[in-house]
Chain A
Amino acid sequence: MHMIKLKNNNARFFVFLFMLPSLVIYLLFQILPLAGALYFSVMDWNGIAGSPVTFVGGKNFLEVFQNKDFLIALKNMGTMVIFSVLFHTPIALLTAVVINTKCKGYRMFKALFFVPTVFPLSAAGLMWYFVFMPTGAFNSLLSTVGLGGFVTPWLVNQSTAMNTIVFVNIWAGIGYYMVIILAGLTTIPEEVHEAAAIDGAGIVKKFFWLTVPMLKSTLTMCIVMDIIGSVKVFDLVFAMTGGGPNGLTNLPTTLLYNETFKYKHMGLGSAIGVVILAICLAGTLISNAVVKHKSD
């Protein structure tokens, strides 16, 4: 498309003026801090103003990977990512397909499934905290229906704590992916469905051999967004357990926060921040590569 060329100073000035605010804000409040994060990750500082900031090179990163809490956090992150992806996309896909049939009341269901995604994660976390706390609704429910043997402090029990949080994350995210897939579904023209019906394809067959392949790029997109999104989870853990007990449910993000604010290990905290950045970067780059590769 034909773009305007900068022929005169008037145009040049205009371009400059209009780009300026964005650039200034962006540079000052995102790029500069980003550089700062990289800077601090190779420095040692105890968080008190006026205290020395000394260069320590890769020491922070070595510490990070030897830190027991970080390793637990990394493992938790892995759990979060794997299970979120495992459950989000298939369930979202199924739900989207069902809603797409525009059955009676579909609008209501769609709204119900989507609404959790607009909640602040802190509120969602708190909501579920009251359900899962030792004297909470879930344990009450279990006792009432005679499953009292399953009653346990869900958020504190080593075997259930992280999984419970992952469950809440899944709950909070399904609507999001459902809506994206729905948008993708609407791009599949009706004729394709009708043609398949004429050919005598059953619903399940139609689903796997027709719908899914046509949604490939959307689904891939969802999975990649899910991976990056799961890495970034913070509010949820912060609200439900604060990372505890004793670091059991930490994610790199909450660990970063704790190290920085509670323990004043600024260098270590920054290093974790850079690791999170690296994971996100890797995720984005891989996603770009995969999508480019898949576009036929």
Chain B
Amino acid sequence: MKLKKWTALALAGVLAAGMLTGCNASGDNGKTESDEKVTIRLLTRMAGTSTQVSIFNDVLEEFKEKYPHVTIIDDSQSDEGAFNNMLSTCIASGDMPHIFRIQGVANLSDYIDNGLLLDVSPYLAEDSEWGGGFSEGSLAYYQVPGYEGTYAVPMESGLIGVYYNRELFSQAGIETFPKTWDELLEAIDKLNAIGTIPIAIGAQSTYMAGHLHDQIFYKWVGTEAAKALGSRAMNWTDEEVVQTLQYVKDLIDANAFDQSAAGITADVAGAQFQQGQAAMMITGPWSISKFTDVEQTPVAEHIDVEKFPYFKEKPEFKLDDMQILSPYMISGKLEGEELELTIELVKMLTNKEIAKRYAEEAAFLIPRTDIDLDESKCTELFIKNMEIGSTSKGIGVDVFDFDPLSSMQDRTRNSILSIFVNATAEEAAAEIQAEIDNAYD
């Protein structure tokens, strides 16, 4: 008995001591300038088992070897929910990681005001070999209206298209991939006739519902309209915008998706496509390395990609495409050696050489115009994706990116999801508009 009690007391004592040092330890992260040791913390989406992540990790290793006195803490998360949670906590405490990302553009003003984001334009200008290689469009995306400067380094780009299974298409008697909306509806009918799920969608992972709508939106009202919505020149309840939501409903009514799409996650939908149970899937270049790996995707040899169909009534938006554009943002609170090293790391992650590796090995595209690509090393699917992506005139990421309200990401996606569960397009539009109206009370 006695021994047990003393052990317990001792443990408690140790824990108390641990708490005191614990408080200091987490406060020390990246704040020590006088110490020899520097810590760099990353919070990105580069986590998981894909090839692009292993290249990412290789760069981190290389960096560690080059600078042995630097400790790298990689908190990166592949799950969007976990990532958002972590980011929220960091923002709430002001304890930002050194390298991170926030989605959206118009909502960055709050963060810039609080000094959380570094303006990278001087560094881009200074190192022209690195800075000059990024595409104009990608840099322009991170220039926030009302502020001077560029607030992120672009690190991922690529067309979000419709990946489809040629074999299933030919079984259904579809000769070419539908170019227009009407042709798409026809194709859906034919695919349903042979018992295949036309389009795999895991609407429960709301981003998939969002992406579907994004595609339709850009083809019906163009990419500039997203900016108009954000600046309140347009409203979600305007007729043309409601029409974009109506098209989502039309697809659902045409049985384009699994009956239970609202209850399926992206993971499961992906599995459906990869196993050959679904004929199409809207996704981006991040899936390419999975789709070309026969072990993960038994139907790999049949997969091809095309742009989302356009509306014949709106040929002017034929080349308005949805692309992915992802950033590395740097904390605005860094100084001295920490700042230098962090920028160096970002350079290593986004320079010409690593871009070549990413493209050739992982089908991952950094938006640089100076990549010396050896096409023979890339998969066909990746090259096709790049080809069709290069013809885009207007580019949009997510429609809500230009909305200054950070809650719009969830709001729009959830309302679109509700269409899968019987809401009407008008109801969804009203719901989204209400969020905007309420915020300006």
Contacts and interface: CB of A to CB of B under 8 A. Distances in A.
A–B contact at 8 Å CB threshold (below):
yes
Interface of A: 46-51, 68, 133-135, 152-158, 242, 244-248, 258, 261-265
B261 to A, nearest CB: 8
A48 B93 CA distance: 7
A49 to B, nearest CB: 3
Interface residues on chain B, size class: 35 or more
Contacts of B264: 133-135
Contacts of A247: 414
B110 A153 contact: no
B110 A48 contact: yes
B259 A47 contact: no
Contact of B114 (A48, A135, A248): A48
A133 B415 CA distance: 21
Nearest to A242: B81
A49 B94 contact: yes
B147 interface: no
B422 A48 contact: no
B204 interface: yes
Interface of B: 81, 84-85, 88, 91-95, 110-111, 114-116, 203-204, 206, 258-260, 262-264, 268, 406-407, 410, 414-415, 417-418, 420-423, 434
A245 B92 contact: no
A49 B88 CA distance: 11
B168 to A, nearest CB: 20
B84 A262 contact: yes
A262 B263 contact: no
19 contacts: A46-B110, A47-B88, A48-B111, A49-B95, A50-B94, A50-B115, A133-B263, A134-B263, A153-B260, A153-B262, A153-B263, A156-B262, A157-B421, A158-B421, A245-B204, A245-B420, A261-B88, A263-B410, A264-B407
A153 B259 CA distance: 8
A51 B204 contact: no
Contacts of A152: 260
Contacts of B94: 48-50
A276 B114 CA distance: 33
A158 B427 CA distance: 15
A contact patch SS: loop
Contacts of B421: 156-158, 245-246, 248
Contacts of A265: 407
B263 A156 contact: yes
Nearest to B12: A21
A245 B259 contact: no
B414 A246 contact: yes
B414 A49 contact: no
A152 B406 CA distance: 34
A46 B405 CA distance: 11
B415 to A, nearest CB: 7
B406 A264 contact: yes
A157 B263 CA distance: 9
Contacts of A51: 110, 114
